Amino acid sequence: MRVLIVEDEKDLAQEISEFLTNEHYNCDIAYTGTDASESLAVNMYDFVLLDIGLPDYNGLDLLKEAKEYNSEAYFIIITARGAIEDKVKGLDLGADDYLAKPFALLELGSRIKAIARRKFGNKTHLLQFGNFAVDINKRVLFFDDNPIDLTKKEYELISYFVLNKNRVLNRLQLTEHIWGDFYENDFDSNYIDVHIKNIRKKLATYDDTKWIKTVRGIGYKFEL
């Protein structure tokens, strides 16, 4: 998943980015509200971590703006400890959670996972379809408790499809959410298609159900 970190404290922003990158998220950093506004206007994010105490921008105004640009993103606001009024305003404006500084990175990671489970309607770490199960903690796809050999990107694609079941996803969305800014450099439109072909082949080894449907001229849809 793709995350935008909006934090003017550069050391903290880098720490968060390194931690989440190790947790297999694709991270962008904006040190100012202006940079964040520009990123939100042109990119799609799954999560936005927003420090509302920005020196150049009213953080709550940026939250309202961000909700317009990235209406499907999930927002965690970061506040100074004890700033109750800001927390309440942020939640009223549509933030999904908040963290008061200082906070533990492990807690941040847990909150992101909890929000994802809640938003995608999953009560556990297992995403099930047919006799398959994606274990988002172990990052493994199982069939009847037997692990299936997937590459890193194949796993990320299948888990992203299952999280967004019954939703049409175009190639740009898949590229941004799985590969980050890869497409800006050497993106080949067939790259996604090749990975999906390989995933379909591996799933068909266990089950002939056509889980991933091609939506002509748009992209793909995982149907349950």
CA distance 168 to 221: 5
Give percent of the chain with pLDDT exceeding 90: 50
Same domain, 59 and 150: no
Phi, psi of 146 (to 5 degrees): -100, 125
- pLDDT, one tens digit per residue, over 139-189 is 999 999 999 999 988 998 999 899 888 999 988 888 877 776 554 444 455
Residues 6+ apart with CB under 8 A from 104: none
Same domain, 68 and 135: no
What is the model's pLDDT at position 183?
Answer: 47
Over residues 89-98, mean pLDDT = 88
Residue 50, by phi and psi: left (phi above 0), alpha (psi -120 to 50) or beta? beta
Amino acid, single-letter form, for residue 162: V
For residue 8, pLDDT beyond 90: yes
Last residue of a domain, one of 101, 119, 137: 119
CA distance 99 to 48: 13
CA nearest neighbour of 193 among 211, 174, 177 = 174
Last residue of a domain, one of 119, 137, 165: 119
CA distance 201 to 9: 46
Domain that holds residue 19: 2-119
Same domain, 135 and 208: yes
H or E segment at 215? strand 212-215
For residue 85, pLDDT beyond 70: yes
Same domain, 65 and 83: yes
Residue 96 DSSP code: S
- pLDDT, one tens digit per residue, over 19-53 is 999 988 989 999 999 999 999 988 888 899 999 88
CA distance 65 to 68: 5
Same domain, 104 and 152: no
Q: Widest CA span of the chain, in angstroms?
A: 56
Over residues 119-128, mean pLDDT = 75
pTM of the model: 0.74
Same domain, 102 and 172: no
